[in-house]
Structure 1
């Protein structure tokens, strides 16, 4: 029979765990979405999501459609934003700032940015991050910077430089990009990942591998190790985030469509269903965190 002390410790631990368990708000990507905004939001809600993540629609008609659909289906919204790499630096920075102010006036949950350019200098990339931080503080809405190929954050070592020089840098971790860049699941790099985990405030949940940023089907047994590696890292970030964000953390499931999704030759038929892959990611995270 257990001692009274053992029972008290066990009960206290159970109570602590129940109170420390947080909530994850899941967002569905509209990347490659063929549906009307109303139908997309309807399906998103039916699949168990809390919101959508979408590039801001600059067309006024589409803005109204978005507002109507969000209200009708009771969904949150987060926006994507980015640096235009096709115009000169100064013009791109001004465009970035102007656009970000417009997005934040909509009061999204957050904005996720594809920030900078892997061909910019460190100072040029820092200008975008610092501008975003200032605008974020003015609107009191978080702005995160996604780890992404082609941006300032295209690799783990490069991103670490900015984490050191800009202490208030907030990341969206899409680690699938780094799996491809570094041609590994980043085994043995946990010490280097620790500062990234500490600065990650949002997750893009997609499973990458040593030869690409997206496996063909996350349910397939051959990708079990890759899936586990990603979920292990995400769990650390989410549990840390619960402590910092009053028990709430956000995740966007972001498996992409053809041709980001591997396809059959000639027909371009996707090797798996994008929507099912994203719902699977949500369920996998919920299962790991005992949120079901």
Structure 2
């Protein structure tokens, strides 16, 4: 990926971290999924471990929103907001709720908005309505609003995601391929013809490693998962290297129990979620260390 004049100017002005040069212009975000720390402690830990920001759902209360905003400013962290379709509502109500939430989110000027979009039980036309609303807000605000490949949503299978992309060519994806690994019960390689169709439309990655029988391996450092980790890293690297995005964003998204397996009768996790996320961030960085 070549540095554009705009990127060089931003680096000179100090508006982009210099580490982006060595990291192929990667920007890493930590998930708050499963976080039980107070927000200030959580953000301090995120910063100390080398992340550029966090990916979170919009807090429900004014107090929590104020705390989040203050913390982001204090630690100079960026934010990607999660947003989604409420599948518990009828279609028309869900669409209205989705638009109202999106309007609030874009007012924060996040780096991106990552959507859990639509419903796997709805028609393609109904799901497309959400995509069109997101596209309109994205064009108006200038903020990338993208759609995560996710079970239970319109993109619950790889063929379904391809079909929607063919129907709406401007569609932008967050690739969380761990979902498709379990849905299709196999490790999908980077050379898969359908995946090749999706890859140019990917503008954000959720870095979690799945396998044929589940959406999350227990520990990416364990040798028994070496092949699964490599398959995911190969896919992510190819997407990033071929992307035209000046800065490519990645959220490390190994989750807490029950995504993270536990010891029976105790509900005690058999691995450390935070360590898994830092491990996968460093594994991605290593792919670009000699650029």
On whether the aligned pair clears a TM of 0.5, the verdict is: yes
How far the C-alpha of 1:260 sits from its partner, in A, is 1.1
Gap change, CA 1:238 and 1:192, over 3 Å in 2: same
The question of whether the paired residues in 1 share the 8 Å contact of 2:22 and 2:289 is answered with no
Matched, 1:77 2:76: no
Q: Which residue of 1 aligns with 2:185?
A: 183
**Separation of aligned partners in 2, 1:204 and 1:92:** 25
**1:150 equivalent in structure 2:** 152
Residue in 2 that maps onto 1:35: 37
Aligned length: 272
Shift, 1:58, TM fit: 2.3
Query: Which residue number in structure 2 is paired with residue 251 of structure 1?
Result: 250
Alpha-carbon distance between aligned partners in 2 of 1:191 and 1:122, rounded to the nearest angstrom: 22
Give the corresponding residue for 1:172.
Answer: 174
Distance 1:268 1:126 in 2: 39
Give 2:127's aligned residue: 125
Deviations 1:130-183 (A, max 9, x none): 110111111110001000000000000111100101010000000000000000
The offset of 1:91, in angstroms, is 0.5
Q: Which of structures 1 and 2 has the bigger CA Rg?
A: 1
- The alpha carbon displacement at 1:21 in A equals 7.0
CA distance in 2, matches of 1:187, 1:170: 21
Q: Which runs of 5+ in 2 are unaligned?
A: 1-19
Cα distance, 1:290 vs. partner? Answer: 1.2
The one of 233, 236, 250 equivalent to 2:235 is 233
Q: Give 2:66's aligned residue.
A: 64
TM-score by length of 1: 0.90
Whether the 8 Å contact between 2:156 and 2:180 is mirrored in structure 1 is yes
Partner of 1:270: 269
Query: Residues of 2 paired with 1:58 and 1:160: CA distance?
Result: 34
1:109-147 alpha-carbon deviations (Å, 9 max, x no partner): 000000000000010000011110111111110001000
SS of structure 2 residue aligned to 1:111: strand
Structure 1: stretches of 5+ with no match in the other structure: 1-17
Which residue matches 2:280? 281
CA RMSD of aligned residues (A): 1.6
> Matched residues in 2 for 1:112 and 1:144: separation?
5
